[in-house]
Chains A and B, each alone.
Chain A
Amino acid sequence: MQFFKTLATLVSCISFALAYVAQDVHVSFPSTTGKTSIMIGKIEPKPEVVGAAPTSVTVDSPNEVVQVNFAIDSNDKPFQHTLLVGLPNRNLEMAFEPEIKDHGKLSMYKYMIDLATLDDALLQEAFRSLEPIKATLILASSTAKPKENLFREILQLDLSFHLDHSDSSLVDKFSIKPEIHHVFQTEPKRVAKSIAVIFVAIIMITILALVTTWLNSCAAAFNNIPTGTNALYFLGFIATVVGFEIIFARYYLGTSIFESLFSSLYLGAPGLLMSTKFLRSFGLTI
């Protein structure tokens, strides 16, 4: 029993020794002066602390360059060495390849993530979903066992600059579009009805005052009412005046111009005759 325990420990130690480990992982910002580098440390296939959150980096500019560096034992270089940058939950990821320099026993890996070169769809979706962009490191070879290969999220990029993300067509061309409702021209302003009624009342009172003044000053005494034949002509004359006013009012209310002209003709001919007769015979007494 003790032998098997020892053997198992030995095997796990050997497999750990073979596993890909990125040493001295650190993030720098070559495009931004004064921004300090961030040391992440050693990255192994299995995290030292289960559930530990990856390092978070705030990106202040759409043109910022984020540089990820680490070292690997030169004798144990992986065949696959990719840094995936994007939103894995939304299948939007870009692959970055490293620049590799050998220094003795160590190989230095350098990834340059230029924010300006990230795909528009990725940036749009990151802003829309308010998710940080994640950087995942893959170090693997066919000769290693799957569990010895490294596949770890090492970095989160929090975007703190502004980007217009209203265009959803980059991600889903057939997504539901924002509704449009026609904006109607504003109705012309109208005076309040109560104000209009006050003015109408003032006008009516003014006209009543005028008529009352005529009556009180004996300007309208009605002391010369025609009699006999003149009474007939008088009625015709008044009917003509009232009739023309009615024709005018009906035209205003919608009667056609032709109908109004015909009505005027029918009223005008006898009206002219009656009015002339009346004014000639009765005018001397006015």
Chain B
Amino acid sequence: MRNTWSFFFCILLQALLAVGTQSSKTLVLYDQSTEPLEDYSVYLKVLEEKNYKLEYLEINSTSTAVDLYDKEQRLFDNIIIFPTKGGKNLGRQIPVNQLIKFFEDEGNILCMSSPGAVPNTIRLFLNELGIYPSPKGHVLRDYFSSSPDELVVSSDHLLNKHVYNAKESGHFVFGESSAALLENREQIVPILNSPRTSFTEYKGKGNSWTSGSQGFLVVGFQNSNNARLVWIGSSDFLKNKNQDANQEFATELLKWTFKEKSVIKSVHAIHSHADGTSYDEEPYKIKDKVIYSIGFSEWNGERWLPHIADDIQFELKQVDPYYRLTLSPSGNDSETQFYSTGEFVLPDRHGVFTFLTDYRKIGLSSTTDKDVKAIRHLANDEYPRSWEISNSWVYISVVCGVILAWIFFVISFVTTSSVGKELETFKKTN
């Protein structure tokens, strides 16, 4: 008995310790011959200080396949892939389908490439997501840049405030960079586009891949499981030597990639009759007045804060929406901002309806909150009675009049005797 209790407490203690020291396991894949890891030490140190457990793995011709899974258990939360040459080495260690599975299973990925190092594994993986980085050798040029040796991009080209909202105008140093073309997919998060005057060049040929602002230097992708991927078109962007120009943007970019920011959750989604009666107490019927409310919180890296927005919409739908209402703020607490539809009347159509709030914004994690409820038709005795309808007053008054007249007639008929009465006759006299 004592052994059993000791075993139980040991398990409990281990569980508590595990929760207390929970850290993001991050796999760092690098090619020392292409980009020495020491060049990125600043940001790697930042991650380690934030309790990220980094596991480094060099990619070379002798390396073998990496196990991203133990049976069905994902072993890493994040993967960072630095530029590598020799695409076969990376492909052997992590095949494309492994990366796709990892990403589908809510693992986050940060990858970089450069004009000289675009491994096939990364390119094919990005192509699956609708991101098409320029192939090997295609370099982004900008003849209007003040610094001809390296690509410098203004912060005016930032495209998503949820990833990074620059407080002051500045410039980011990209060195030699690739650029990507993007599909028109709703999961893609364009983060930084190239200058209007830029273009990609390949072996003396201009506009070889992108031209103007339709090329992208930093691109994000957030899948339906809210896993995030960021691709950076330059190996120089995160290098220590460029940290003066890039540090703030890079730090925010890492935060976004590893879900330390712009993470939304919806809470306390409730609907009820307008007077507060719940559905369980009184199921809905057509034309009932109801009210719907929901709360939203945003993770800022340390704690949940109220998420303020004016574009959250609620839908009441069967196949198509019967209502689509923009929610209004209705109150808040320290963590949550609540929104409400206000009173609205349920449709005059019975059936099974979905109370849905599907909040998706580019750069924010998506939340879906739905509740399926039946709305019944009116029972026989719930329709308006005839006396409430003015048309029927004529018929009702006729019926009442006939009844009263009939009773009067019966009473008068039986109490009025015709026996002994003789009709007065008049004889005609000539």
Residues of A participating in the B interface, judged by any CB pair closer than 8 Å: 79-82, 84, 88, 91, 93-95, 97, 121, 136, 138, 140-142, 144, 146, 149, 151, 170, 172-182, 184-185, 190-193, 195-197, 199-200, 203-204, 206-207, 210-211, 214, 218-226, 234, 237-238, 241-242, 245, 249, 254, 278, 282, 284-286
Contact = CB atoms under 8 A, between A and B. Distances in A.
| 6 nearest A-B pairs in the assembled complex, by CB-CB distance | A220-B412, A224-B417, A95-B211, A140-B143, A180-B324, A207-B401
Given A182-B347, A223-B416, A207 B143 contact: no
Nearest to B199: A80
B379 interface: no
B414 A237 contact: yes
A199 B393 contact: yes
A144 B325 CA distance: 56
Given A176-B313, A179-B326, A146 B196 contact: no
Interface string B411-430: 11111111100000000000
Contacts of A82: 199, 206-207, 211-212
B226 to A, nearest CB: 14
Contact of A203 (B145, B401, B406): B401
24 contacts: A79-B206, A80-B206, A84-B212, A88-B213, A93-B196, A95-B211, A95-B214, A146-B144, A151-B196, A170-B184, A176-B311, A177-B313, A179-B313, A182-B345, A196-B391, A204-B397, A207-B404, A211-B405, A218-B416, A221-B412, A224-B415, A241-B406, A245-B407, A285-B419
B360 A174 contact: yes
Contact of A136 (B196, B381, B412): B196
B207 A95 contact: yes
B361 A174 contact: yes
A141 B199 CA distance: 12
B158 to A, nearest CB: 11
B403 interface: yes
Contacts of A151: 144, 196-197
B9 interface: no
B143 A220 contact: no
A223 B417 CA distance: 7
B323 A144 contact: no
Contact of B413 (A93, A121, A173, A286): A286
A200 B395 CA distance: 9
Contacts of B414: 224, 226, 234, 237, 278, 282, 286
A16 B184 CA distance: 42
Contacts of B5: none
Given A80-B143, A174-B361, A207-B404, A223 B415 contact: yes
Contacts of A285: 417, 419
A93 B394 contact: no
Interface string B342-355: 00010110000000
A222 B390 contact: no
Interface of B: 141, 143-146, 148, 159, 184, 186, 193, 196-197, 199, 206-207, 211-214, 287, 311, 313, 315, 321-326, 345, 347-348, 360-362, 381, 389-391, 393-394, 397-398, 401-419
Nearest to A215: B412
Given A80-B206, A88-B213, A91-B193, A286 B390 contact: no
A84 B148 CA distance: 22
B400 to A, nearest CB: 9
A214 B196 CA distance: 103
A46 B393 CA distance: 86
Contacts of A140: 143-144, 197
Contact of A286 (B141, B146, B418): B418
A130 B148 CA distance: 37
A177 to B, nearest CB: 6
A245 B401 contact: no
Given A82-B199, A211-B405, A219 B393 contact: no
Nearest to B387: A253
A214 B393 contact: no
Given A93-B214, A179-B325, A144 B393 contact: no
A177 B345 CA distance: 20
Contacts of B345: 182, 184
Chain A CB count within 10 A is highest, among B184, B186, B322, B326, for: B184
Contacts of A234: 414-415
A175 to B, nearest CB: 8
A184 B405 contact: no
Contact of A225 (B207, B213, B381, B415): B415
Which of A81, A136, A177, A180 is the most central at the interface, judged by chain B CB atoms within 10 Å of its CB?
Answer: A180
Contacts of B362: 172, 174
